[in-house]
Amino acid sequence: MRGFALFGVLMVNLEDWFRAHPYRYTVDPHPWPGAANIAMEHILVLFFENKFFSLFSLLFGIGLGVQMERAEARGARAYRLLLRRLAVLFVIGALHVLLIWMGDILHIYAIGGLALLFFLRRKTKTIAIVCACLFALPVLIGTGMTIARYVQGESGITPPDLAEIRATIDKAVQIYGHGTWLEIARFRVTDYIDFIGSFLPAIVHAFAMFLIGLAAWKHGILKRPAEHRTALRRTLLFGTLFGFGMVLALHILITIKAEAGPLLWMRRFSFGFFPAAQTAMALAYGAALVRILERPSVRARLAPLGAMGRMALSNYLLQSLLCSFIFYGFGLGLYDRLGPAAGALIAIAIYSLHIPLSRAWMSRFRFGPVEWLWRSLTYGKAQPMKLALTRAPPC
């Protein structure tokens, strides 16, 4: 499942952060003309945006639950071990921001993971209640803000300062597309600070997905999927009907660009349901994958994804290195020069490269290179890396 989620994460990261500045769509809803580019924009919003981030976050929550169980089974001090593990992950994420790319999710996971430690021994019912409250929060806040604006008589939307946004985009294109590594690194820190306010909702959403993953693991859905086929089928149905239906409706309202009247108020009201809708789609993706992996023939065909998932952290950072070289000035300098369709092809090419590299690496080693570093720093000593070679007995 991690190997599968890596593809969606790459698609969104490449399109929203590497290929061009996110503000580009604020100035022009379709900055790259052509049917292929416009179609890819819609595909990304409907099927990729925040869905795979949610799925990856769910898997992170499952991973912490698994690590807690294994540490306790060995008699280790589980909380101390997990704290060290999260601290190392935060450092890796911080270095990722400083040296490579500002869209890092590792430090977000480390921060959310600290909060998750308080729930590792809680009952599934308690976790479900907290999770429901977290998803209800944006609905309540969004509804309250919409009602307040309506009562105050605000009938339209405040246009953004397009001149300032264009200046930011022009500066980003100049530095990311033509600057040296040091110039890009300096600007990246400034860019990160400008967007830091948007990371709080991402942390809350990631934490909610951690809770769902932890609850699913405790409930045994992934341990014994055959016993939970009804629940998986209902999750798939709910995610398809409610999740995709709500995402599609909101996307249509945004595309219409209503600046006043009922459509504007419908759009504002619907925004609060967006996190729940995206989560429902992510759960549908996960449920569908669990169901099809019950078939041995399908599991055999998708086995290469397992190698990718076992070294997901290394692959995630490798994606950043490759995309930085492709789009930034110290490499090919294609920043802001390619449309979404071309970007999607690059993402597919990079993902296709991951498959043979991951299989070759995991056939020789126990961990991915960054996973080995993460594990070694967590335990305070170098971990055995190479796989023991098994030889046939002599005749």
pLDDT digits (tens, 9 = 90+) for 85-94: 999 999 999 9
State the Rg of the chain over Cα.
Answer: 22
What percent of the chain stands above pLDDT 70? 94
**pLDDT surpassing 50 at residue 328:** yes
Exposed/middle/buried for residue 146 (C-beta within 10 Å: 0-12, 13-18, 19+): buried
Average pLDDT, the chain: 88
Question: What distance in Å separates the CA atoms of residue 59 and residue 53, rounded to the nearest whole number?
Answer: 10
Question: What distance in Å separates the CA atoms of residue 285 and residue 101, rounded to the nearest whole number?
Answer: 27
- Is the Cβ–Cβ distance between 239 and 287 less than 8 Å? yes
Least confident of 247-251, 258-262, 275-279: 258-262
Question: What distance in Å separates the CA atoms of residue 156 and residue 143, rounded to the nearest whole number?
Answer: 16
Least confident of 6-15, 36-45, 73-82: 73-82
The 3-state secondary structure of 235-283 reads: HHHHHHHHHHHHHHHHHHHHHHCCCECHHHHHHHHHHCCHHHHHHHHHH
**pLDDT surpassing 70 at residue 393:** no
The 3-state secondary structure of the chain reads: CHHHHHHHHHHHHHHHHHCCCCCHHHHCCCCCCCHHHHHHHHHHHHHHCCHHHHHHHHHHHHHHHHHHHHHHHCCCCHHHHHHHHHHHHHHHHHHHHHHCCCCCCHHHHHHHHHHHHHHCCCCHHHHHHHHHHHHHHHHHHHHHHHHHHHHCCCCECCCCCHHHHHHHHHHHHHHHHHCCHHHHHHHHHHHHHHHHHHHHHHHHHHHHHHHHHHHHHHHCCCCCHHHHHHHHHHHHHHHHHHHHHHHHHHHHHHHHCCCECHHHHHHHHHHCCHHHHHHHHHHHHHHHHHHHCCCHHHHHHCHHHHHHHHCHHHHHHHHHHHHHHHHCCCCCCCCCCCCHHHHHHHHHHHHHHHHHHHHHHHCCECCCHHHHHHHHHHHCCCCCCECCCCCCCCC
Question: What distance in Å separates the CA atoms of residue 103 and residue 192, rounded to the nearest whole number?
Answer: 8
Question: What distance in Å separates the CA atoms of residue 175 and residue 277, rounded to the nearest whole number?
Answer: 36
pLDDT in tens, 281-307: 999 999 999 999 888 888 888 888 999
Instruction: Give the residue from 20, 368, 394, 140 showing the smallest Cα distance to 385.
Output: 368
Question: What distance in Å separates the CA atoms of residue 61 and residue 23, rounded to the nearest whole number?
Answer: 31
> Pseudo-torsion of CA 356, 360, 361, 364, nearest 10°?
170
**pLDDT surpassing 80 at residue 51:** yes
Output the pLDDT for position 26. Answer: 79
**pLDDT surpassing 90 at residue 130:** yes
Question: What distance in Å separates the CA atoms of residue 73 and residue 177, rounded to the nearest whole number?
Answer: 51
Instruction: Give the residue from 13, 14, 116, 102 showing the smallest Cα distance to 60.
Output: 116
Report the half-sphere exposure of 20 (CA within 13 A, side-chain side).
23
Question: Which residues lie across from 156 on neighbouring strands?
Answer: 260
Output the pLDDT for position 395. Answer: 41
Output the pLDDT for position 196. Answer: 84
What percent of the chain stands above pLDDT 90? 61
Question: Which residues lie across from 386 on neighbouring strands?
Answer: 365
- Is the Cβ–Cβ distance between 172 and 329 less than 8 Å? no
Per-residue confidence band for 327, with pLDDT thresholds at 50, 70 and 90: very high
Look at the alpha carbons of 59, 114, 13, 185 in this order and tell me if their dihedral is positive or negative: negative
In total, the chain counts a number of residues equal to: 395
